[in-house]
Amino acid sequence: MRRPLSDRAFALCLAPLAAVATACPVLVAAFVANNAAPVLVAVGPMAFLGSSHWAPTSGEYGVLPMVAGTLTSSALAMALAGPAALAYGLHVNLFAGRAFATSARLAIGVLAGIPSVLYGLVALTAIVPHLVRDHPPGLGVAVTAVTLAVMVLPTAAAAVDAAVQQVDPGSIVAVRALGLGAWDAVRAVVLPSAGPGIRSAMLLGLGRALGETMAVLMLAGNTVAWPSGPFATFRTLTGNVAVEMAYATGLHRSALFATALLLLVLVTAIVAAQASRTPGAEA
């Protein structure tokens, strides 16, 4: 059966836009990889990834401490934000009244739209002064992870909420009709049904944490060092690019592009994992 002419014309109009949407990330990745190539050829990928020395003036471009700082702060942030996001999604869908659920969803939407620099500013003025007395300079892993957790919570919570909303209400009613409690409904119906969406929500939050720049730049301390403790200062991959790109030249500039390429690979891996866990991805 042939599609109407209007449908064919509409499809032809959409095709170039779809091609642009597909080509843009590919072109960005190609541009970053091309600019990262000189340093990867000069020092080697293994030296770039495996060395802990970052001294561009001496020709040393090791990003391992920054990789550790990025992964540590992001993992700690999700360890804090993940349970809260799950609790939010279950509560507003299964236990809260309609008025509270509507207000909570509005609040989460507002929090998700707040610029990251404001989160960093609040942490810098409200949390750091209390830490600096006993743990100078008050910056480091702990305050960065807590701030990142607050930042990624709205994103993860909204995604968990959407996943739980997809659960068939009839299944929950059936479980309750058998005389079982709310926890039984959550354990037997909600978590298995919404599990893929909840896992995707956590991966989405992790991707947001990995890519955050401004708040981390304000709170991490920006020293190229291992995140060895809760009050140790460190630097992330995004912070490295933001701090040094303004004056970098030659291999130094290429090394910053290689840093961005590594970050791109990490985020792409998370997106791929999220897609593989999405219901219907196997179809």
pLDDT > 60? residue 62? yes
Of 148, 158, 153, nearest to 74 by C-alpha is 148
Number of domains in the chain: 1
Q: What is the pLDDT of residue 283?
A: 43
Could you report the per-residue pLDDT of 205-221, keeping only the tens digit for each? 998 899 888 899 999 98
Answer whether residue 114 is part of any domain. yes
Q: What is the pLDDT of residue 278?
A: 57
Q: What is the pLDDT of residue 108?
A: 92
Answer whether residue 195 is part of any domain. yes
Answer whether residue 7 is part of any domain. no
Answer whether residue 252 is part of any domain. no
Answer whether residue 174 is part of any domain. yes
Answer whether residue 257 is part of any domain. no
- By the 8 A CB rule, do 213 and 199 touch? no
CATH code of the domain containing 73: 1.10.3720.10
Task: Give the orientation angle of helix 250-277 with respect to helix 5-43, to 10 degrees.
Answer: 130
Local confidence band at 281 (pLDDT 50, 70, 90 cut-offs): very low
Q: Lowest mean pLDDT: which of 45-54, 125-134, 273-282?
A: 273-282
Could you report the per-residue pLDDT of 161-173, keeping only the tens digit for each? 999 888 887 777 7
Answer whether residue 136 is part of any domain. yes
Answer whether residue 100 is part of any domain. yes
Question: Rg (Cα) of the chain, in Å, rounded?
Answer: 23
φ, ψ (nearest 5 deg) of residue 115: -60, 145
pLDDT > 70? residue 160? yes
Could you report the per-residue pLDDT of 179-235, keeping only the tens digit for each? 666 777 788 888 888 888 899 899 889 988 998 888 999 999 889 999 988 999 999
pLDDT > 80? residue 257? yes
Work out the angle at residue 159's Cα, subtended by the Cα atoms of residues 154 and 162, and round it to the nearest 5 degrees.
125
- Tally the residues of the chain: 283
Q: What is the pTM of this model?
A: 0.85
Local confidence band at 279 (pLDDT 50, 70, 90 cut-offs): low
What is the domain extent for residue 218? 65-241
